[in-house]
Structure 1
Amino acid sequence: MTALTIVSLLPELLNTNGDAANARVLAQRARWAGLSATVVDVHTAADMPAVVDAVVIGSGTDADLPAARDALLPMVDRLRELTTAGVPILAVGTGWEVLSWGIELGDGTVVEGLGLVAGRAVPAPTRATDDLVVTTKFGRLVGFENHARAYTGAEASPLGRVVHGTGNGQGQEGLTMGDLFCTHLHGPVLARNPQFADHLLTIALARHGAVYTSGAHSAAVDDIAKAARNQIAVRLSLATE
């Protein structure tokens, strides 16, 4: 039986919107597929397991940004290795921003980022607090956004195109760099959009030479998630799935 190790980075600091639960979503869907899956909470570099099959980084408050950056700094070389090796990584909100060149706060101060992805987070004219609907190659992704910054200078491809909401600004949302996926989507995003979770699991299993096939129990859960997405679509006068 294939065993997956899913890392949740700094869940005590980066879980403001429940985004650390994305790791549990991956693990549960893997178990429903008949696999063994373990979530490892990583608080320091010493906690990082030798074998990592997926990484989840959640979102935190601006007050926690310096602490999160300082905690992640000793792990930056390991994270770079995982990115190069094609390990799927999901970073949400400030967890994404801290991977960038830096974060410009509203008071003019700057939190230097880890430099793993191009671009930086900059103050937006107004805070984005709304449903966020994005078209991607994984289908429509739905969640909510709650951020005061836009994102500029990304040299990677966007995650998708904004149908409703703000995203990065200029009609784009998130970024992808190889198998690193960054987004403003909360919800948690993988619970609301299980097809995205399955894409990450497909990548993780392929590295083991295995093929991911979702389990039977996933179908019922997927129907619930689809109904929730369609409720939002109807409210926003968008086509349903």
Structure 2
Amino acid sequence: MTTIKIAHMYPREMNIYGDTGNLVVLMKRLEWRGLAAEAVAVGMGDKLPADADIVLGGGGQDAAQGDIGEDFITRSADLRSMADDGVVMLAICGAYQLLGREFRTQTGRVIQGAGVLDIETQGSATRLIGNHAVDSEWGQLVGYENHSGLTRLGPGVRALATTASGRGNNGEDDTEGAV
């Protein structure tokens, strides 16, 4: 049986809202489908497994994103190559922002991203919080949002979904996520 390898990015640094729970749920869902899974924690300076089937990353405060920013940048070419090869990436909050071109904090600090996605995020004083339901080509996705980053999609990316409730990427254009 093939084992699905999940590269869990920065589980200590980027787990502000218990995003490791996404790993637990993902592994359980794979198990229910009779699929074996292995999680590999990838912290600062650790090798990113080139044979990962899924890259998973969670949320972190602006300071945490700054702390891992340079390390994340060293992975840019590998992450872009993996995305080009069809590796699935589930990036939440700060990890999502760092897959983009850049994240500008509320204070104006610029944290460069990996450039995997054609997105930019601007920190805001307003938090977008609440239950969230979105419509995607895979059906309705539900979850919870809690972020102050306002993400704008560039022409080189399409939205993962449109938001029916909640505020999505930026609270203005009815988009959520990016593909």
Q: Same fold (TM over 0.5)?
A: yes
Cα contact 1:8–1:55 (8 A) shared by 2: yes
Write out per-residue CA displacement over residues 28-47 of structure 1, whole angstroms, 9 at most, x where no aligned residue.
22223223211110114543
CA pair 27-108 structure 1, distance change in 2 beyond 3 A:
same
Gaps of 5+ in 1: 177-241
More displaced stretch, 90-99 vs 15-24: 15-24
Greater relative contact order, per chain length (Cα 8 Å cut-off, separation 6+): 1
| Corresponding residue for residue 167 of structure 2 | 166
Larger strand proportion, structure 1 or 2? 2
Q: Tell me if structure 1 keeps the 8 A contact 2:73–2:112.
A: no
Once the two structures are superposed, residues 151-170 of structure 1 have per-residue CA deviations (whole angstroms, 9 ceiling, x without a partner) of 11433111111111111131
Judged with a 3 Å threshold, the aligned counterparts in structure 2 of structure 1 residues 136 and 50 are, in CA distance, closer, same or farther, namely closer
Partner of 1:101: 101
Bigger radius of gyration: 1
The answer as to whether partners of 1:103 and 1:113 remain within 8 angstroms in 2 is yes
8 Å CA contact retained: 2:132, 2:143: yes
Moved over 6 A (4+): none
Instruction: Show the 5 A alignment for 1:1-241.
Output: 1-124=1-124, 126-155=126-155, 156-168=157-169, 169=171, 170-176=173-179
Identity %: 30
* Closer, same or farther: CA 130–46 of 1 in aligned 2, 3 Å: closer
Deviations 1:177-224 (A, max 9, x none): xxxxxxxxxxxxxxxxxxxxxxxxxxxxxxxxxxxxxxxxxxxxxxxx
- Tell me, yes or no, if the aligned pair for 1:45 and 1:74 is still in contact at 8 Å: no
Alpha-carbon displacement from aligned partner over 1:45-94 (angstroms, at most 9, x marks no partner) = 54323421111011111111111212212222211111111111111111
Could you say which structure has the higher helix fraction?
A: 1
Provide the aligned C-alpha RMSD in A. 1.7
CA distance in 2 between partners of 1:159 and 1:28 (Å): 23
